[in-house]
């Protein structure tokens, strides 16, 4: 079974149909309390996709937050501006950060 996504990008970049190759979640979920005392959990994902039209892969970084209120109710807040970066650019950025001693 395959999972296929279809991205519609702005700036006249057009539609971008892709097949999901893999999806990853970090080992540890970051949690904190906001100013109102609600617990916030941050769920960042890394999704590796392959273009259905070109033989290239990209990295999509969607995320969401779970906000648990003091009364126990939970609200999901989805990230609206998840980056979508071609894998060569992403690898270049990661290599530069590692070379500079940041990762």
Give the position of tokens 């080992």: 27
Q: How confident is the model at residue 9 (pLDDT cuts 50, 70, 90)?
A: confident
- Annotate the chain with DSSP letters as a single string: ---EEEEEETTTTEEEEEEEEEEE--SS-EEEE-TTS-EEEEEE-EEEEEESSSS-EEEE--EEEEEE-TTS-EEEEE-S---EEEHHHHHHHHHHHHHTT--
The predicted model gives 19-27 an average pLDDT of 94
Q: Does the predicted model carry a pTM greater than 0.85?
A: no
DSSP β-ladder status, 46-51 and 57-60: antiparallel
What is the per-residue pLDDT across 37-67, written as a single tens digit (0 to 9) for each? 999 999 999 999 998 777 788 999 999 999 9
């Amino acid at each position: 079974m395959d999972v296929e996504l279809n991205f519609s990008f702005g700036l006249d970049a057009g539609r971008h149909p892709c097949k999901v190759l893999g999806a990853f979640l970090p080992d540890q979920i970051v949690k904190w309390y906001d100013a109102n005392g609600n617990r916030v959990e941050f769920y960042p994902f890394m999704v590796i996709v392959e273009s259905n039209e070109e033989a290239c892969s990209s990295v999509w970084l969607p995320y969401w937050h779970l906000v648990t209120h003091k009364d126990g109710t939970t609200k999901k807040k989805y990230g609206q501006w998840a980056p979508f970066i071609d894998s060569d650019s992403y690898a270049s950025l990661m290599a530069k950060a590692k070379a500079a001693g940041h990762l």
